[in-house]
Structure 1
Amino acid sequence: MAADPLAKDVFGKTPGPTAAPGVAIGTYNKGCVSGAVQLPETGPTWQAMRLSRNRNWAHPDMVGFVIALSEAASKMGFRGLYIGDMSQMRGGPMLSGHASHQMGLDADIWMLPPSSLSLSRAQRENISSISVVANNGLGVNSNWTPSHAAIIQSAAMDPRVDRIFIDAAVKVAMCDANGNRGKWLQKLRPTPNHDYHFHVRLNCPAGNTGCTNTAAPVAALSGNDNGCGAARQELAYRANPSTRPKGTPNPNYRHPRSYRLSEMPKQCQAVATAR
């Protein structure tokens, strides 16, 4: 192994979780989790998807949250939930894909209503989720149901949840349905490529002093309209792309997969190399 390997190569190849109480360390895009637990591949109201990725690990709080949400979903018109990527066995940067999902506090939940909760491993590799957004991106399509809305609202109303990343069209649909009312709407954050799943992020668990919520609080970003106005503005930009203000790229941005192990928090360096 190189003297200072890429962190993704170390975290992506660890032999198992650390034997410790669950602790989230660092930040969502530069962190790790000690004492992660595995979401069982199959339960009464859920199935973990894409098992070959081995990303059905998380902080115990997240595993408990996912199971409880799947149980709630079974009372809201779904059989349960298909669960996408959570974290690796010790969190950290992944060999491919996500920039976040590093502290065991993130989970992707498919928009596809389960047709079966007894899929084989092979079926879970080949089945895909569905988009709930129209091809023009300006609204939801016929795949969107009241059950989707109820499940996402249930997740957003959980005090452990910091934010939920969804497509702007989904947020607008939920704002419209609720008359822009409800503080929980602040937690719904319009994000590209979140039309076929919604991404739940938990707050740092109590007592996890090495864990940092780096983003500004949702309420501070959303203003007084619960972020509904901003989501509608995003759809207006989609309808007329020439009106979108030009942003300035951050010249110092680096994708988390580029970090060396020495650049990770000291505690994460220890978690990555613990035997």
Structure 2
Amino acid sequence: MTPRAALAAALILIASGGAARAQDITPQGFRLPPMPPITATTPAKELFGRVTRPSEGRGRSLGFYSKGCLAGADALPLSGPTWQVMRPSRNRFYGRAQLVTYIQRLSKRVADTTAWPGILVGDMSQPRGGPMLKGHASHQIGLDVDVWLRPMPRVEMTMTQRETMMSTNVVAADRTDVGAAWTPDHLKVIRAAALDPQVERILVNPAIKKAICRDARGDRGWVQKVRPQWGHDYHFHVRLGCPAGESSCKPQADVAPGDGCGKALDWWFTPGRLFPVPPKVPPKPRPPMTLKDMPAECTDVLRAP
């Protein structure tokens, strides 16, 4: 890769909270500072990023995927017959009950229909959702999960292994297609994830979307749910739709009609998009989200027992 390409790739990862962050290793012995006072102007990530357990009461998704919080979360067990949670020290293995059962259902289907023994589960949401200290912009309302593009080992890993093992980058070095690590089972796993009716969309690297457009056979209706987004070289991001009748959850716009292949996908590989030239004057960072920017109920979620 040329220096320009390497710089562009790094900028893409930084902008997207991309693959490297999805695998960040927590330093041994790391401890967060105490939680600051809960005020309307405190950066919300400094608050939600320090809560260690869910609130009591029924589950609710409050707000939007990238601006909201989570009440009454369920925890995904760290190990199951067909799944294992990665980076457990992050404490991001919480979600709505619907998400927990979806992961369990998907992992069994993967084990039944592919050569993978099961799936490795990356970040879900924090105990009470909300913005994270670093990484994702979304994953805030308990309806998002990252699934690693590496099969689960046949033996249960130790916590140390889960904190240090890396996933598999399936994108080629030139970023225009998948590389040698991509296998037919990767396609089968993503297809299994997309076929579930609760899934609204799946985010993958554009190169992975290209491979899916080229290789998917038979009924291709599920391909529409798979949408290109930078990063996502090492994992794919599954998003469930808002639960029916839950007005506190703000839905995303419908997925665009069509399978997302052809000209719509070609745009991602144009020179200015694939390797963007950084601006001469870096833009000012956006101010951090605060509680006053979020649904009012999120303050109650933070203060709840």
TM-score, normalized by length of structure 1? 0.89
Residue in structure 1 matched with residue 183 of structure 2 by the alignment:
145
Post-superposition CA distance 1:17-50 (Å, at most 9, x none): 1111221110001111111111101110010000
Summarize the Cα distance change of 1:145–1:18 in structure 2 as closer, same or farther, 3 Å threshold. same
Cα distance in 1 for partners of 2:213, 2:170 equals 16
Summarize the Cα distance change of 1:11–1:176 in structure 2 as closer, same or farther, 3 Å threshold. same
1:267 aligns with 2:297: yes
Q: Sequence identity, in percent?
A: 42
Cα distance in 2 for partners of 1:173, 1:217 equals 23
1:262 to partner: Cα distance: 2.2
Once the two structures are superposed, the pairs formed by residues 195-274 of structure 1 within 5 Å of their partners are 195-214=233-252, 216-218=253-255, 221=256, 223-224=257-258, 226-229=259-262, 230-235=264-269, 237=270, 240-241=271-272, 254=286, 258-274=288-304
Asked if structure 1 preserves the Cα contact closer than 8 Å seen for 2:267 and 2:273, the reply is no
Cα distance in 2 for partners of 1:45, 1:271 equals 32
Asked if structure 2 preserves the Cα contact closer than 8 Å seen for 1:175 and 1:181, the reply is no
Aligned length: 263
TM-score, normalized by length of structure 2? 0.80
Summarize the Cα distance change of 1:41–1:242 in structure 2 as closer, same or farther, 3 Å threshold. closer
1:71 aligns with 2:108: yes
Residue in structure 2 matched with residue 189 of structure 1 by the alignment:
227
Summarize the Cα distance change of 1:62–1:2 in structure 2 as closer, same or farther, 3 Å threshold. closer
Cα distance in 2 for partners of 1:160, 1:213 equals 13
1:146 to partner: Cα distance: 1.3
Cα distance in 2 for partners of 1:139, 1:118 equals 33
Residue in structure 1 matched with residue 93 of structure 2 by the alignment:
56
User: Gapped runs of 5+ residues in structure 1?
Assistant: none
Asked if structure 1 preserves the Cα contact closer than 8 Å seen for 2:268 and 2:274, the reply is no
Residue in structure 2 matched with residue 124 of structure 1 by the alignment:
162
Partner of 2:145, secondary structure, is strand
Summarize the Cα distance change of 1:207–1:191 in structure 2 as closer, same or farther, 3 Å threshold. same
1:271 to partner: Cα distance: 0.7
1:105 aligns with 2:105: no
1:86 to partner: Cα distance: 0.4
More displaced 10-residue stretch of structure 1: 11-20 or 57-66: 11-20
Q: Compute the RMSD of aligned alpha carbons.
A: 2.4
1:231 to partner: Cα distance: 1.8
Post-superposition CA distance 1:80-129 (Å, at most 9, x none): 00000000001001111111000000000000112344111111111000
